[in-house]
Structure 1
Amino acid sequence: MIKILHLVSSLSIKSGVMSVIMNYYRNIDKNKVQFDFCYFMDGEDTYEAEINSLGGHTIKISRPSLSIKFFNEINGFFEKQKGIYTALHIHEIYLTFIFATIAKKNGIKNVITHCHATQYSDKKINALRNRILCIPLKKQANYYFSCSKAAGSFLYGEKYLKTEKVKIINNAIDCEKYKFDPNIRSVMRKKLGIEKNLVIGHIGRFNKQKNHSFLIDLFYLIQKKEKNAKLLLVGDGPLFQTIQEKVKKLNLNNNVIFLGRRKDIPDILQAMDIFLLPSLFEGLPVVGVEAQASGLPVVFSNSITQEICLFNYKYLDLNQSPEYWAQEVLSIDRNCNRIQAFLNVKEKGFDIKEEAKKLENIYLEMDI
């Protein structure tokens, strides 16, 4: 058995990156490959208990800085781990310049960088900082992963992408878990009090990236044309209260349902009629794959790679007005066969059982 050390910012259940890693971890053959996690940010709800139950370990380090104290801490950590890890898998790519050098110095031959987005950050200062810190990245790593071609091109460049140095690791899911079930749909719609409504949904953290403000403007126009329309919003985050206040100002209180964070995402997707994802940027959003596997028609913004377009979808320009979007959303075909959708998504390379085997083989080849 070989061991892989994942470097992440936190183990939070809210983290999209951790969601992707855990999907792979649950399905990889742990007799052949085992994961440990190095992180530096605390969270209330984390995957720590599940990681431990799967045989992995978690290591908390200090928040990264350029101080000698931090460099000594990381060097000391890797000195103690000599001979344990086959690879260091870095998901916080801007930290490669610190961790790759120290890891290699202490005997870890393989350093993987994994790009999960098409921007360095949604904050200008952080984006500039991260861009500078990532300049030496390609020389410091020797394996290059990306969640999509778009994200790979963004971080590594078209030249690397074309030479196939970049391995696309799909944000895969358990497709069968999202298979459409009319009975679950009926139960969920009754439970949520939306049995006779046109139900539009969105799942995502309330931050700038997910573009909730535009989403509310769009739904305001949809609701004018479809009086019985309801909007389900799943998630929490820093802009949660701001969006709630906007809903109140537009007198949409009775039409927008805030569900908070939920653990029954497959069932909630069954209850929806249309899914909207007007993000300002993404790598390849897992929730978009999940929504399509459940058979929902999905409307994506053009800032999201078309690699996400798998089943019944529309792909709209964010430069177009909310009025245009509203018209397109309401014209989408909602009468497709939702039951077969999960098979379409599975066949296009997003089934976690198959993709986990591919990742497992990549790791094992590093140990040869």
Structure 2
Amino acid sequence: MSKIKVMHCLGQLNTGGAETLVMNIFRHIERDKFEFDFLLFNDDKGFYDEEAKSLGANLHYTSSMGHTNIFKYIRSIIKILKDQNIDIVHSHMDWQGGLIVYAAYRAGVKKRIVHSHANQGMFKTSLLHRLLITINKYLIKRYATDCIACSQEAGESLFRQPFEVLINGIDIERFLNPNQEIINQLKQELNIQDTDIILGNVGSLSENKNQRFLIQILSKLDKKYKLVLVGDGSMKYELKQFSKELNVMDRVIFAGVRKEIPEIMQLFNIFLFPSKKEGLGIVAIEAQVSGVPCIVSKGIPNEIDMHIGMVSFEELDRNLWLKSIQCIEKIDFTKKDFNENNLYNIKYTVEQLCNIYSYLKC
């Protein structure tokens, strides 16, 4: 039997939540049954490019909607999909999925999936964006055969029709059994002492992720506290300057983009997640599985709480966060809290998605 050919549509194969989910699925799906290719709207090298190729994917590039006119954008997508004889288009471009599934319909693709990875409110930055989102919602309703969301909130913010929540599963075993040698190397590299209390955050350095808030909090804590920021982004320089202004630059560790997230999590005493809005926030799930208590903003969907007593939701108020940080204690964690049937296991996510992929609507 021939493989089912799936084209995943993403801006770039970097380390965001959507990209990490797709790569987790790619590593665990039966690759003798499914063939994954990627349609990318940025030809800069992405973090996962080489791994995707090593797993058998072809990477196709075209201009983003912001760098060409809408007609060329649609024609380019149609041509690539026709040339590659694609069975399923799976858009991870949030509201932009409307134009993608319209193009897929024009290309004769039978199954056209739009996946909401975010609360779409975070994209409504101008009147033009609000108009584009409204148009794309109409196109999704008309041309998508399936709608998927990482949380109830993310789905309700985009879809006008029924949708299915697909939990962003993780490789639980990888987080339960980190590499101690790598942990020791990271401690040495990042100059982390046993007496330090490490506050951690993983995500793009951006306005929405709100690391500036964490630097303000650090400035109110004594010198035994350090803040590790894992990731990169447009606000890196501004955050470094802000750290200098508040005289905490020696206690803020900019660790960059990392692939050793299970080991990085073991460095943290507390995981801090002050995002203004998130579709889900998979890193908070990774932190819990790693045994790290979390303080998260109320902009994070409730679905990230694994109900093992490790998550505290707080308003974005510095005094509240300071109090929580100073009061929280490391929670006793045992591996028995998780098993093969855990909802957040990537195996469950793959099984659910295979059921969606395997039924081709006519």
Scaled by the length of structure 1, the TM-score of the pair is: 0.88
Deviations 1:191-229 (A, max 9, x none): 5332111111111111011001111112222x24xx311
Of 241-250 and 172-181, deviating more is 172-181
Say if 2:350 is the partner of 1:356. yes
- Which residue of structure 2 aligns with residue 10 of structure 1? 12
Shift of 1:98: 2.8
Paired residue type of 1:206: L
Say if 2:350 is the partner of 1:365. no
Of 170-179 and 182-191, deviating more is 182-191
- Which residue of structure 2 aligns with residue 315 of structure 1? 313
Matched positions, count:
352
Say if 2:167 is the partner of 1:175. no
The 8 Å contact of residues 137 and 158 in structure 2, kept in 1 or not, is answered as: no
- Which residue of structure 1 aligns with residue 96 of structure 2? 95
- Which residue of structure 2 aligns with residue 131 of structure 1? 133
Of 50-59 and 292-301, deviating more is 50-59
Gapped runs of 5+ residues in structure 2?
Answer: none
Q: Matched residue of 1:323: which SS?
A: helix
Q: Matched residue of 2:137: which SS?
A: coil
The 8 Å contact of residues 88 and 110 in structure 2, kept in 1 or not, is answered as: yes
RMSD: 2.3
Deviations 1:122-171 (A, max 9, x none): 561264244223231212212010011111121125xx4xxxx3111111
5 Å-filtered alignment, 1:277-292, equals 277-292=273-288
- Which residue of structure 2 aligns with residue 41 of structure 1? 42
Shift of 1:348: 4.1
Q: Distance in 2 between matches of 1:71 and 1:134?
A: 13
Q: Distance in 1 between matches of 2:51 and 2:304?
A: 28
Structure number with the bigger relative contact order (C-alpha 8 A, sep ≥ 6) is 1
- Which residue of structure 2 aligns with residue 197 of structure 1? 196
Q: Matched residue of 1:350: which SS?
A: coil
Deviations 1:317-359 (A, max 9, x none): 12xx20121001221231422x427x43865411112321221
Paired residue type of 2:358: L
Q: Distance in 1 between matches of 2:64 and 2:259?
A: 29
5 Å-filtered alignment, 1:55-94, equals 55-64=56-65, 65-81=68-84, 84-94=85-95
Q: Matched residue of 1:324: which SS?
A: helix
Q: Distance in 1 between matches of 2:236 and 2:6?
A: 36
The percentage of aligned residue pairs carrying the same residue is 29
Of 256-265 and 179-188, deviating more is 179-188
The 8 Å contact of residues 186 and 195 in structure 1, kept in 2 or not, is answered as: no
- Which residue of structure 1 aligns with residue 327 of structure 2? 331
Q: Distance in 1 between matches of 2:34 and 2:192?
A: 45
Gap change, CA 1:106 and 1:211, over 3 Å in 2: same
Gap change, CA 1:155 and 1:349, over 3 Å in 2: same
- Which residue of structure 2 aligns with residue 153 of structure 1? 156
Paired residue type of 1:36: D
Gap change, CA 1:334 and 1:303, over 3 Å in 2: same
Question: 1:253 is matched with which residue: 241, 249, 255?
Answer: 249
Shift of 1:233: 1.2
Paired residue type of 1:256: V
Say if 2:224 is the partner of 1:228. yes
Q: Distance in 2 between matches of 1:297 and 1:258?
A: 21
Q: Distance in 2 between matches of 1:255 and 1:228?
A: 9
The 8 Å contact of residues 38 and 60 in structure 2, kept in 1 or not, is answered as: yes
Q: Distance in 1 between matches of 2:96 and 2:200?
A: 35
Gap change, CA 1:77 and 1:264, over 3 Å in 2: closer
Q: Matched residue of 1:279: which SS?
A: coil
Gapped runs of 5+ residues in structure 1?
Answer: none
Q: Distance in 1 between matches of 2:348 and 2:186?
A: 30
